Amino acid sequence: MKFLRFGAVGEEKPGCLGSDGAIRDISALVTDIDPQAVASGSLIGISQDAVDDAPIVTGEPRIGACMARTGNFIAVGLNYVQHAIETNAPIPDEPILFNKASSCISGPNDDVVQPKGSTKLDWEVELAFVIGKRASYVGEEEALGYIFGYMICNDVSERAFQIERGGQWMKGKCCPTFGPIGPWLVTADEIGDPQNLKLWLEVNGDRVQDSNTDDMIFPIAKLVSYISQFMVLEPGDIVTTGTPPGVGLGMTPNRFLKPGDTMRLGIEGLGEQRQQVSAI
């Protein structure tokens, strides 16, 4: 199943792709795509037949963030071998974790807004997943069973805020619009092997990231298990799992985003995003 949310900001309705690829309005079947719907099993209980019987959404509606009201938004840093190499960072011995604010979440095609004082705005295509059930001290062998579904995340980053302003990375990771997710939340049963997915990103039509999740240092199962040793993961929590090489920070000379630039990014089986950079 490919769940999504559509409509104006703050007025999104729950949707799902029908067998014909059309967006179906499933608001008669579930109130929203949110942690409560995940925890209660409401989403799992929706059949493809029920989706195909739901009304077709006409026109070209705005696609919103595919998960509403998430609790924790956790990110993993330096989780691709070649990305660590391009940034001259040592290969980590354990996963590097940081927080992204849930307030930075936006729709997959909404503008990315350059914040005040920003000089080094960067892109990061990432595979993200949504937790499906409460996870605490989970073993790696059972970890994938705790995942409800997968989606694309652009972990937009302001490198000057992140690296040059002291303290934790989250300074450069949490500005509004720095967390586009979607377009779809694809249930885990539709993704065969999360460690063999192509992912890519283009800036102004130039493909700058082109990799595969098989380059991850710490695979998805390891991340679920590892994070659950330090905190309780709840249904609806989002974890975004790191970016492959090709970020602006890793280029010589560095290349950063400016208003008017466009990003297009995708992951195999999870759709595509497109954002334009705008000034605040």
- Domain shared by 47 and 78, yes or no: no
Q: What is the pLDDT of residue 78?
A: 94
Q: What's the structural domain count of the chain?
A: 2
Q: What is the pLDDT of residue 221?
A: 98
The pLDDT tens digits for 2-17 are 999 999 999 999 999 9
Burial zone of 196 (CB within 10 Å; 0-12 exposed, 13-18 middle, 19+ buried): exposed
Residue 63 placed within a domain: no
- Domain shared by 177 and 236, yes or no: yes
- Domain shared by 9 and 111, yes or no: no
Q: Does the structure show a pLDDT above 90 at 242?
A: yes
Q: What is the pLDDT of residue 117?
A: 97
Label residue 88 by pLDDT band (50, 70, 90): confident
The pLDDT tens digits for 19-69 are 999 999 999 999 999 999 999 999 999 999 999 999 999 999 999 999 999
DSSP assignment of 47-93 equals -HHHHHHSPBPPS-PPB--SS-S-S-EEEEES-BHHHHHHTT-PPPS
Residue 68 placed within a domain: no
The pLDDT tens digits for 106-119 are 999 999 999 999 99
- Domain shared by 217 and 151, yes or no: yes
Q: What is the pLDDT of residue 97?
A: 97
Q: Does the structure show a pLDDT above 90 at 255?
A: yes
Phi-psi region of 100 (alpha: psi -120 to 50; beta: other; left: phi over 0): beta
- Domain shared by 34 and 162, yes or no: no
Residue 26 placed within a domain: yes
Alpha-carbon distance of 168 to 170, in angstroms, equals 5
Percent above pLDDT 90 for the chain: 97
The letter for the amino acid at 123 is: W
Question: Is-contact 234 72, C-beta < 8 A?
Answer: yes
Residues contacting 11, CB < 8 A, separation 6+: none
Residue 267 placed within a domain: yes
- Domain shared by 11 and 110, yes or no: no
- Residue of 153, 145, 154, 272 lying closest to 220 (CA atoms): 145
Alpha-carbon distance of 221 to 28, in angstroms, equals 34
Q: Is the pTM of this model over 0.85?
A: yes
Q: What is the pLDDT of residue 254?
A: 97
Residue 235 placed within a domain: yes
Query: CATH code at 172?
Result: 3.90.850.10
- Domain shared by 109 and 165, yes or no: yes
- Domain shared by 136 and 204, yes or no: yes
Residues contacting 33, CB < 8 A, separation 6+: 3, 4, 5, 14, 43, 66, 67, 68, 185
Residue 61 placed within a domain: no
Q: What is the mean pLDDT of residues 235-249?
A: 97
Instruction: Please state whether beta strands 13-17 and 2-6 pair in parallel, antiparallel, or not at all (unpaired).
Output: antiparallel
Residue 254 placed within a domain: yes
Residue 8 placed within a domain: yes
Q: Which domain holds residue 199?
A: 73-279
Q: Does the structure show a pLDDT above 90 at 167?
A: no
- What stretches of 97-209 show up as alpha helix (H) in DSSP? 159-163
Q: Calculate the CA dihedral of residues 108, 3, 63, 234 and round it to 10 degrees.
A: -60
- Domain shared by 173 and 41, yes or no: no
- What stretches of 147-231 show up as alpha helix (H) in DSSP? 159-163, 220-227
Label residue 271 by pLDDT band (50, 70, 90): very high
Question: Is-contact 131 108, C-beta < 8 A?
Answer: no
